[in-house]
Amino acid sequence: MNCHPKLTYKCACGAVKVQIKPSPLVRMFCHCSICQKLSKQSYADDILVLAKDVIIENPTAVSYKKHTTIFPLQRGECQHCQSPVVAFSTLIPLVKIAVTPTQFYGHQVKLPKAVAHVFYDKKEKIGDDSLPKYSHYLSSQIITVKFILTIIIKKLLCKW
Ligand SMILES: [Zn+2]
Ligand SMILES: [Zn+2]
């Protein structure tokens, strides 16, 4: 997991532009029912970064909503095209992370391969790969926390 140079992406209509500062990227597949609904796919393909490395250029175009009380995630969507443009969570106290949809990154950088499937008990479609698969709330949370800690550690080694 290496650091990438500064990246940018836009929502589907272009109203929301997001900058990602150099940081390690962790890519995961989430099968939870909310991700299925918002991504309109059988699972969401997401990239996790630290929230402090994310700059939303026009934050007023994003509206945030918490879709469930158990999962601590504020999901932001573009007010114009309703793209799930970014979500924020404080899964570890004092460490805010951002969840960003892989599809918006385009081809500006060679994106890392996904490291895991989470909330696999909710799967609609079987992942045809050999990645580790975590079912249920607790194990999905624990593995996500582990990857966030990896980001924090790897970030110290970034040369950008
Ligand atoms: Zn939009
Ligand atoms: Zn999800």
Q: What is the pLDDT of residues 18-34, one digit of tens each?
A: 999 988 889 999 999 99
Residue 127's contacts (CB-CB under 8 Å, 6 or more residues apart) are 29, 43, 117, 120, 133
Q: What is the pLDDT of residue 3?
A: 80
pTM above 0.75, yes or no: yes
Ligand nearest to the CA of 18: 1
H runs (alpha helix) in 13-72: 33-39
**What is the CB neighbour count within 10 angstroms for residue 91?**
16
Q: What is the pLDDT of residue 23?
A: 86
pLDDT tens for residues 53-94?
999 999 999 999 988 776 778 999 999 999 999 999 987 778
Q: Which fold has domain 7-155?
A: glutathione-dependent formaldehyde- activating enzyme (gfa) (3.90.1590)
Instruction: Give the start-to-end residue ranges of the domains of the chain.
Output: 7-155
Ion ligand 1 neighbours, Cβ < 5 Å? 11, 13, 15, 78, 80-81
Give me ligand 1 centre to Cα 85, in Å. Answer: 8
Confidence of residue 1 (pLDDT cuts 50, 70, 90): low
Give me ligand 1 centre to Cα 28, in Å. Answer: 23
